[in-house]
């Protein structure tokens, strides 16, 4: 299948790149290359001395990025998850950067390619790995995980009310025949979700939860955020696009904590200049897709972008 078949519309394309305030000779990182929408626009704004480094797990995204790297010497691609941000930059000899962009979640080509096993709309092997070259598939995990662990994943990452019932049904089913396809899982979940949210398939939350767990999406997000701040130069920007509340909550709380200094009682005699400056400061309010973008690309409806800027304050977060 080609990318022409699985078209991808980059969400908040102009807004995200504008948030980086790209300097022509700067060094930037696109933590989620996808099909390169953000990366290509960043490259358009970089001069001959600028540099862009991108990360991705997906072999198909890596193929697209490798072709771009062959055309543009300012661009390089890392086939790894962004949790390895600092070590991969070290390997490339990059210590300081001017901006980081993260477009979280799953891309349209991954969803629309039924072979990947991300969507209940297709009958395909129950894979769900973003990197199909390594790691455990969803089917393998569901065939061996404890019932309590399955229930916890579905409840925590899918915010599914019927997580226990779904987990019990999965374990009962595998005593006869382990789940192997997306359709088998979707049918089983549908039988165990008593009420449906309007316009949403009953399997939506369970599929989301298992995908997040298999790919360690939230764990990797928590790992990478401190790493980005430690590498940003003063004035450098971090822009993160999230697509569901669990991701956004992590980003929001991180920016809040990193932009907050120790507060002293009002009666303590201290000059403002003696109070330590926070490591980052939030930039503007959270940004959402416009009505026009949502109309053209309904998947942009849930997107929310938060922006932070590195200050001159000392970073205590490590990495």
Model pTM? 0.88
Residues 316/39, Cβ–Cβ less than 8 Å: no
Give the pLDDT score at 119: 75
Which residues participate in the annotated binding site? 36-38, 56, 82, 103, 110
> Average of pLDDT values for 222-250?
96
Q: Domain coordinates of the chain in residue numbers?
A: 21-27+96-107+216-251+261-284+303-319, 119-214
User: 244-257, pLDDT tens digit by residue?
Assistant: 999 999 999 999 99
Burial 277-289 (b: 16+ CB within 10 A, else e): ebbbebbeeebbb
Give the pLDDT score at 3: 40
Give the pLDDT score at 261: 75
Give me the residues paired with residue 28 across strands.
52, 99
Q: Model confidence at 92, in pLDDT bands (50, 70, 90)?
A: very high
CATH topology of domain 119-214: DNA polymerase; domain 1 (1.10.150)
pLDDT above 90 (res 268): no
> Average of pLDDT values for 291-299?
91
If one counts every other C-beta atom within 10 angstroms of the C-beta of residue 78, the result is 22
pLDDT above 80 (res 118): no
> Average of pLDDT values for 173-192?
95
Give the pLDDT score at 114: 60
Which residues participate in the annotated binding site for S-adenosyl-L-methionine? 36-38, 56, 82, 103, 110
Angle at 139 between CA 154 and CA 62, to 5 degrees: 95
- What percent of the chain is predicted at pLDDT more than 70? 88
* Alpha-carbon torsion (83, 86, 92, 98), positive or negative: positive
Q: Model confidence at 295, in pLDDT bands (50, 70, 90)?
A: very high
Angle at 221 between CA 151 and CA 181, to 5 degrees: 45
Give the pLDDT score at 5: 39
């Amino acid at each position: 299948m080609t990318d022409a078949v699985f078209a991808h519309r980059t969400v908040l394309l102009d807004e995200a790149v504008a948030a980086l305030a790209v300097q022509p000779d700067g060094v930037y990182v696109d933590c989620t290359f996808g099909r390169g929408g953000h990366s290509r626009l960043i490259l358009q704004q970089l001069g001959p001395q600028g540099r862009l480094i991108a990360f991705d797990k997906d072999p198909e995204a890596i193929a697209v990025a490798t072709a771009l790297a062959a055309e543009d010497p300012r661009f390089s691609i890392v086939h790894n998850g962004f949790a390895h941000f600092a070590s991969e930059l070290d390997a490339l000899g990059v210590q300081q950067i001017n901006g980081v962009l993260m477009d979280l979640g799953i891309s349209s080509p991954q969803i629309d390619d039924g072979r990947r096993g991300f969507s209940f709309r297709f009958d395909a092997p129950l894979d769900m790995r973003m990197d199909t070259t390594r790691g455990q598939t969803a089917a393998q995990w569901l065939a061996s995980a404890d019932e309590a662990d399955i229930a916890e994943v579905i409840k925590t990452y899918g915010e599914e009310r019927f997580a226990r019932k779904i987990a019990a049904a999965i374990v009962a089913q595998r005593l006869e025949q382990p789940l192997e396809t997306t359709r088998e899982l979707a049918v089983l979940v549908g039988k165990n979700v008593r009420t449906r949210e309007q316009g949403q398939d009953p399997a939506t939350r369970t599929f989301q939860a298992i995908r997040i767990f298999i790919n360690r999406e939230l764990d990797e997000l928590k790992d990478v955020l401190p790493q980005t701040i430690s590498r940003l130069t003063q004035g450098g920007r971090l822009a993160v696009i999230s697509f569901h509340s669990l991701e956004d909550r992590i980003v929001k709380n991180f920016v809040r904590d990193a932009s907050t200094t120790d507060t002293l009682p009002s009666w303590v005699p201290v000059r403002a200049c003696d109070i330590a400056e926070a490591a980052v400061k939030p930039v503007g309010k959270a940004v959402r897709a416009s009505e026009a973008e949502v109309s053209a690309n309904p998947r942009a409806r849930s997107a929310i972008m938060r922006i932070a800027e590195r200050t001159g304050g000392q970073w205590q977060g490590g990495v």
